[in-house]
Structure 1
Amino acid sequence: MALSTSIKKRLTEDWRSVFPQMVIYDSMWLMRRIGPLLQGVLLEKTQDGSCYCPTLHIHTFSRPLGYVALNVAQPLLTVRTRASEYIKVLHHDKHFSEGAKRLAASSLLPIEGDISLDEVMAAYRSFETFPASDAPFSINYFESAISLHAWCGQINRGKQALEEYLEVITQWPDRVIERLGSVDKWRSDMLAVLANPDAIRETAEQQATVLKATTLPFSEFRR
């Protein structure tokens, strides 16, 4: 079943009632901004439009991707099996409120107010063991973490994190490491990121403009 614009709007507004610090960013997508981060709830509909799976996520502005990546993606999970839970659109009124409260309670990051660098780093570490996590073998999280340290001006901490990440990467299967090219080059690239915090902050502001996020509700990213 194709979802009409009015139904999509109603579903999104219902979810916003549980996430009041977020606003409608796009169709079936809530968002707020925390410094160099976006935090959102995407109502991912099935191909036939009969169901949707609400998913919490963050996105880091400090990398010039040009699109919103669903990092630390936490879908609503079933209570019994911890598999992704889909809500039938026809049963939305009956189930969304309880599901929204469960999703909010499960968030690895605060869903309102400021967020700190330490909280994001803790969320990255916790996400590695999250059901259906794509964190294992994903360089994405390491690069986001390094760029956030640079944005915060936490250069020494960023270098320490880089060395920890390199220890992890060298334990990855060869087929995964090959995708990076050279580990030494990746290390040099990340050191260059840490050496240019002003450039990272400029990138973050440019990305906020590109992704039309400059008017979103804003909270501070604590260093």
Structure 2
Amino acid sequence: MTNPSAATVRRVTKDWAAAFPGFTVWRPLHLLRRIGPVVQGICLDRSTSGDGYCPTAHVHALTREFPVISLTLGHRLERLSGQPEAVLFTRQEGEFQRAVDALKAQSRLSLDVPPSLEEIVREYHSSSSARQEKGFPPAVMEMEDSILIAAAAHRRDLVEDSLSIATDLASKWPKARLPLTWVSADAWLEGMRNKADAAEALAETVTGQVAAHKLDKLKE
């Protein structure tokens, strides 16, 4: 494994920050911006070999206590074949710009103009439904995020839409693939509705997560 120098990491981070001025450098190789109770990010995830990185567009909900910034709804830069593509730390200028343009084109959420909260919630819905159709593990956390994000933003219409989709998906999720703490779909949905109704508690969680992850200086 080849590890890049600190100077190289700083250069790459600076280059990506310049290409995406709407984002803030949160940590080396990681850009973020805040959209209400959500952060949208570009993570330059290091490749297994260490000589490159995989640009990944993602979001993270601030409505649950979580120890790290997750790569929820993550989309890694892809080749035409659909396989993930790594960018070398020693890349040429043309290769870097191609990677930037490709990630912008491939990301399901805009990396230029900040997506609306509704667009983010709808993407949670689309991704969760697609996972069900493809037979992937149930998108329990993603559906929870979609409900709580909408509630934290006081979008009752989106809360109800999320609960409706959650009800439909929960009826299809195989019990063997659900969390060990799962009791029943009805109990889960009731719990989510109760959390969505607790606006003050959600606001406190968002504030606490902003402080815990040092996000107070992010662009919005």
* TM-score normalised according to structure 2 size: 0.88
Q: Is the 8 A contact 1:180 1:186 kept in 2?
A: no
Higher mean displacement: 118-127 or 2-11:
118-127
Alignment correspondent of 2:89 = 89
d(CA) in 2 for partners of 1:35 and 1:153? Answer: 11
d(CA) in 2 for partners of 1:215 and 1:196? Answer: 27
The residue correspondences of 1:1-223 to structure 2 (distance < 5 A) are 1-79=2-80, 81-128=81-128, 129=130, 136-155=137-156, 157-177=158-178, 179-183=180-184, 184-218=186-220
1:113 positional shift: 4.2
* TM-score normalised according to structure 1 size: 0.87
1:156 positional shift: 5.1
1:5 positional shift: 0.7
What is the letter of the counterpart of residue 197 of structure 1? A
SS at match of 2:19: coil
1:114 positional shift: 4.3
Instruction: Tell me: CA distance 1:134–1:214, structure 2 relative to 1, closer, same or farther (3 Å).
Output: farther
Higher mean displacement: 24-33 or 169-178:
169-178
What is the letter of the counterpart of residue 100 of structure 1? V
SS at match of 2:90: helix
Percent identical residues: 25
SS at match of 2:180: helix
Instruction: Tell me: CA distance 1:48–1:106, structure 2 relative to 1, closer, same or farther (3 Å).
Output: closer
Q: Is the 8 A contact 2:125 2:162 kept in 1?
A: no
- RMSD, matched Cα: 2.2
Q: Is the 8 A contact 1:62 1:203 kept in 2?
A: yes
d(CA) in 2 for partners of 1:85 and 1:14? Answer: 18
Higher mean displacement: 155-164 or 17-26:
155-164
What is the letter of the counterpart of residue 12 of structure 1? T
1:31 positional shift: 1.2
Higher mean displacement: 170-179 or 52-61:
170-179
What is the letter of the counterpart of residue 61 of structure 2? T
SS at match of 1:115: coil
Q: Which runs of 5+ in 1 are unaligned?
A: 219-223
What is the letter of the counterpart of residue 47 of structure 1? T
Alignment correspondent of 1:221 = none
SS at match of 1:179: coil
1:51 positional shift: 1.7
Instruction: Tell me: CA distance 1:134–1:168, structure 2 relative to 1, closer, same or farther (3 Å).
Output: closer
